[in-house]
């Protein structure tokens, strides 16, 4: 199975068997946010998950959450951020569009400035974060060992798991950090479903302690940065928010007659009858493929599917309407 097909089928399996959020291809670095990409992230729900669902279907920008904008008295937006004004402006605009912020038109008109407030307090909506590295074929490991060592030493996720289709030998386990869990994933061709065999349980990583983030590797030398617990906490929040807004259905369907969308565990995948697997339409499909026959791409509403299958809501009521009269509490 290709890594792309493996990833989609594993996301489907995980989503159908657990609560919370499943997302894929998310940056998990701190000092270098795009320096480490996790294949899959599972976000376990916290005590106020339903409150987060009610606010918006989109990611809430971290700068808006960390700002001094609250739910009480409206604040002049420039005074509420401790970051570059351009970043603050982008965060305000996104927070307004998503419904996490609202404008106070009375205050803004009186001062000829834009005043904003939160429509709801940012909730304690997520708990543990589990990162999963997909490597169907351990015979072609690539940078697997260094990637997993980065995940363990940085410890942004509570647990890290390696998922593979390969038979896992003792030699494989010796090359994988002891704290990393190992799953062997079996495919049931009859049902097109998956079964997970737990080879090794993951250890709980010290997310509340400083982490070590490798930044560059050179012969005999590795450049690192020590990451504070506070920086890791913000990175975890960014990761959870990005996962909430993005999910894992971030693929397209090929405009090809060979594409026959397959429903597996409540998720519709871009299955190609010619390749006999799910395919990435953006990189694998087109006239250069021997099995390609151009047609109209299947009409599949992936956002509506996510809404039906999970606790995430595509169009929540929002929380703006709950804020009338809160000025008196400023």
For 224-233, what is the mean pLDDT?
96
User: Residue with structure tokens 């021997």?
Assistant: 290
Other C-beta atoms closer than 10 Å to the C-beta of 172 total: 19
**Helix ranges (DSSP H) in the chain:** 3-16, 49-55, 62-66, 85-98, 105-111, 144-154, 170-175, 229-246, 281-284, 302-309
pLDDT tens readout for residues 293-326: 999 998 999 999 999 999 999 999 888 754 444 4
Average pLDDT, the chain: 91
**How much is the pLDDT for 262?**
82
The band of 33, judged by pLDDT with boundaries at 50, 70 and 90, is: confident
pLDDT tens readout for residues 81-131: 999 999 999 999 999 999 999 999 888 877 789 999 999 999 999 999 999
Higher pLDDT among residues 208 and 218, named by residue: 208
Q: Report d(CA 202, CA 99) in Å as an integer.
A: 37
For 129-147, what is the mean pLDDT?
92
pLDDT tens readout for residues 147-205: 999 999 999 999 999 999 999 999 999 999 999 999 999 987 666 678 999 999 999 99
């Amino acid at each position: 199975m290709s890594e792309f097909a493996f990833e989609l089928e594993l996301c489907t399996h995980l989503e159908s068997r657990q609560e919370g959020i499943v997302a894929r291809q998310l940056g998990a670095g701190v000092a270098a946010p795009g320096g480490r990409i996790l294949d899959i992230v599972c976000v376990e729900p916290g005590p106020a998950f339903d409150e987060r669902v009610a606010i918006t279907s989109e990611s809430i920008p971290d700068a808006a959450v960390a700002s001094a904008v609250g739910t009480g008295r409206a604040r002049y937006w420039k005074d509420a951020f401790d970051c570059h004004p351009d970043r603050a402006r982008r965060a305000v605009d996104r927070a307004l569009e998503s419904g996490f912020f609202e404008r106070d038109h009375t205050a803004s008109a009186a001062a000829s400035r834009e005043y904003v407030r939160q429509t709801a307090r940012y909730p304690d909506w997520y708990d543990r974060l589990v990162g999963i590295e997909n490597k169907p074929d351990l015979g072609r490991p690539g940078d697997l060992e260094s990637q997993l060592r980065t995940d363990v030493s940085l410890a942004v996720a509570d647990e890290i798991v390696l998922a593979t289709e390969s038979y896992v030998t003792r030699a494989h386990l010796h090359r994988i950090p002891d704290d990393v869990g190992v799953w062997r994933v079996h495919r049931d061709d009859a049902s097109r479903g998956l079964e997970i065999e737990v080879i090794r349980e993951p250890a709980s990583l010290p997310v509340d302690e400083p982490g070590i983030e490798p930044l560059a590797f050179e012969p005999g030398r590795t450049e690192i940065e020590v990451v504070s617990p506070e920086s890791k906490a913000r990175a975890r929040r960014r990761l959870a928010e990005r996962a909430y807004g993005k999910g894992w259905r971030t693929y397209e369907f090929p405009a090809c007659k060979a594409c026959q969308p397959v429903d597996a565990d409540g998720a519709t995948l871009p299955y190609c009858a010619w390749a006999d697997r799910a395919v990435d339409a953006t990189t694998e499909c087109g006239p250069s493929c021997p099995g390609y026959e151009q047609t109209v791409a299947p009409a599949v509403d992936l956002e509506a599917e996510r809404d039906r299958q999970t606790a995430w809501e595509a169009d929540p009521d929002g929380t703006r309407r709950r804020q009338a009269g809160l000025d008196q509490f400023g």
